[in-house]
Amino acid sequence: MPRSTRPTSTALASEGTRSLGDPYLPTSGNGGYTVLHYDLDCDYRVSSNRLSATATITARATQKLSRFSLDFAGLVANKVSVNGTRATHVIQTARKLVITPALPLDNGAEFTIVVKYAGLPKPVRSQWGEVGWEELSDGVIVAGQPSGAPSWFPCNDHPSNKATYSIAFSAETAYRVLCNGELVLRTQRASRTRWEFESREPVATYLATVQIGLYETMGVSQSGVLQYVLLPEDLRSNALADFEDQPQMMALFERSFGPYPFSDYTVVVTDDELEIPLEAQGLAIFGRNHIDGVGGSERLIAHELSHQWFGNSLTISQWRDIWLHEGFACYAEWLWAEESGSLTADGSAAQAWSKINRLPKDLVIGDPGSARMFDDRVYKRGALTLHALRTTLGDDVFFTILREWAATHRHGNVSTPEFIALVETHSPVPVRSLFAAWLDQSSLPKLPKRTAR
């Protein structure tokens, strides 16, 4: 493709930035536009890890644009057009696709980008390890958090730009393919099958996924929210035992957080071992090592399910607020332990407090820094923040706040100041000092005494 010449000052003045300014991922995301919809048409060969695809991206300019960029890594763009006309210049770097359309785009204009691309997808290297597209021993897993989405499609890779998706994926017929959203069509032709999915609720790029494997389907619940497990056949008996309580978890979380925000919920269990389970929108992914038949991953099953509310439906606008995902999911573990008769939330909080108190006091969970945003102390201390709030306000007010939080921002983006502002509208006592102590200081506060139920 032709390379860009040096832009004029006019072009620079109307060029979208190649970052959304998030200090945790300063090279991710792009300015000047917002994506409204991704239409991904993908053809994949499992045996050779060969992907050929066309991404049709509908976006809206937020300024006059003479040039803009997409996040894209490891694959080769063969043809790029904007509004049906081939782009004047396209520059592909290691992490960006920089596009100059034939005609400038007006502020507020809706436009369509078509990128045809191919290659051998692989994970994106990051300070948190390799993320994104990953080959299994026989299949594929995509785990995009926080910066792995560009490993398989061009995108505006930041959680603040959620969009709807249409994903079509063709693969060998022996394999089961699962993507986000509702399966709307499956077509078999010769030895290949095409799977088509629609996500009508907006999805953050890091939560967009494709899972491919030799899986069979196991129903978990056919009443209320439909729940399934895709898994290797030899794990069925263990999985039946391990996921037996998931419908009760769903019921607890719907009482605590409000209605489940999607149409169904599917867990994928890979034939490979995985270090940790992972969430994506409408689904979660576990390794075979997490399925033991004796409930060894019970808390993790609860944790991943709760992310459908906190992380997937409610998604942070900036990565510094990651406690709003992980602290809430960790607290959901404690709620389930309390519901199932294992340990009260007070007991879980006391255990977590004692553990954290033995660790260095050098982390501020309201802004932990990019290198430590997945530190276990962010999870546990985030949950302790919620428990301190619960013991201060009492159960009625606390759970009213959680349900209103989930309802008000359903399928949207959230921030810590917004959560604090909501709490203040319900709290009979000042709470700013409570949040400041737990979120903005490295020292560990004492847990408040329970004053109400």
Provide φ and ψ at 161, rounded to 5°. -110, 80
Rounded Cα–Cα distance for residues 215 and 288 (Å): 12
| pLDDT greater than 70 at residue 143 | yes
| pLDDT greater than 80 at residue 92 | yes
Q: What is the mean pLDDT of the chain?
A: 95
pLDDT bracket for residue 2 (50, 70, 90) = very low
From the number of C-beta atoms within 10 Å of its C-beta (0-12, 13-18, 19+), residue 118 rates as middle
CA distances to 73, 117, 238, 303, 306 from 279, rounded to whole Å, are 22, 27, 21, 9, 10
| pLDDT greater than 50 at residue 3 | no
* pLDDT, tens digit, 9 for 90 and up, residues 55-69: 999 999 999 999 999
Q: What is the DSSP letter of 151?
A: G
pLDDT at 223: 84
Rounded Cα–Cα distance for residues 319 and 410 (Å): 19
* pLDDT, tens digit, 9 for 90 and up, residues 358-374: 999 999 999 999 999 99
| Omega prior to 146 cis, within 30 of 0 | yes
Rounded Cα–Cα distance for residues 373 and 363 (Å): 10
* Sign of CA pseudo-dihedral 297, 308, 41, 87: negative
Please provide the CATH number assigned to the domain covering 217-305: 3.30.2010.30
Token code pair at residue 208: 């967009």
The angle at the Cα of 158, spanning 155 to 162, to the nearest 5 degrees, equals 80
CA distances to 272, 430, 434 from 441, rounded to whole Å, are 40, 18, 11
Rounded Cα–Cα distance for residues 109 and 111 (Å): 6
DSSP code string of 46-98:
TTTTEEEEEEEEEEEESS-BSBEEEE--SSEEEEEEETTEE-SEEEE-SSEEE
Q: What class does CATH assign to 316-439? A: mainly alpha
Count, residues in the chain: 453
Please provide the CATH number assigned to the domain covering 9-213: 2.60.40.1730
- 10-24, 219-233, 259-273, 308-322: least confidently modelled range: 10-24
Rounded Cα–Cα distance for residues 200 and 202 (Å): 6
Confirm if 232 and 269 have CB atoms less than 8 A apart: yes
Rounded Cα–Cα distance for residues 308 and 283 (Å): 8
pLDDT at 70: 98
Start and end residues for every CATH 1.10.390.10 domain found in the chain: 316-439
Start and end residues for every CATH 2.60.40.1730 domain found in the chain: 9-213
